[in-house]
């Protein structure tokens, strides 16, 4: 009976953490998905034989985030692009490209 109780409490605790994480990182998650959808179109135009791009999001405020897209070939960075994303207005601005 104790094991059954522990399992229920454990799953309840995990669900609570999952909900809290989604609220905390909602701007970053939305910014990443917006850039990933747009970056698919950029990827189709390039003939890449390297690894898939790495994405990193940094929250600025409740509506804005900076997204960094890095393509690496081994240890060498071949391409790095920066995007400024406004999640509230659903706008993406390309800041820098190497």
Determine which helix (DSSP H) or strand (DSSP E) holds 82, and give its type and residue range.
Answer: strand 76-86
Q: 11-44 pLDDT, tens per residue?
A: 666 565 555 556 677 888 899 999 988 877 655 5
- 88 belongs to a structural domain: yes
How many helices (H) and strands (E) the chain has is answered by 2, 4
- 51 belongs to a structural domain: yes
- 64 belongs to a structural domain: yes
Residue 68 to residue 41: CA distance in whole angstroms: 17
Q: What domain range includes position 65?
A: 28-97
Q: How many domains does the chain have?
A: 1
Q: What is the pLDDT of residue 38?
A: 83
- 14 belongs to a structural domain: no
- 52 belongs to a structural domain: yes
Q: 42-92 pLDDT, tens per residue?
A: 555 555 555 678 899 999 998 999 999 888 887 787 888 899 999 999 999
Kindly report whether the global pTM for this prediction surpasses the value 0.85. Answer: no
Confidence band, pLDDT 50/70/90 cuts, at residue 97: confident
- 17 belongs to a structural domain: no
């Amino acid at each position: 009976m104790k094991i059954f109780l522990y399992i229920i409490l454990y799953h309840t605790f995990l669900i609570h953490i999952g909900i809290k994480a989604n609220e905390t990182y909602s701007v970053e998650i939305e910014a990443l998905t917006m850039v990933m959808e747009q970056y698919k179109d950029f990827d189709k135009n390039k003939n890449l034989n390297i690894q898939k791009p790495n994405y990193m999001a940094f929250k600025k405020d409740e509506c804005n985030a900076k997204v960094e897209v890095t393509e690496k070939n081994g240890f060498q960075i071949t391409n790095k692009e920066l995007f400024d994303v406004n999640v509230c207005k659903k706008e993406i601005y390309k800041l820098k490209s190497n």
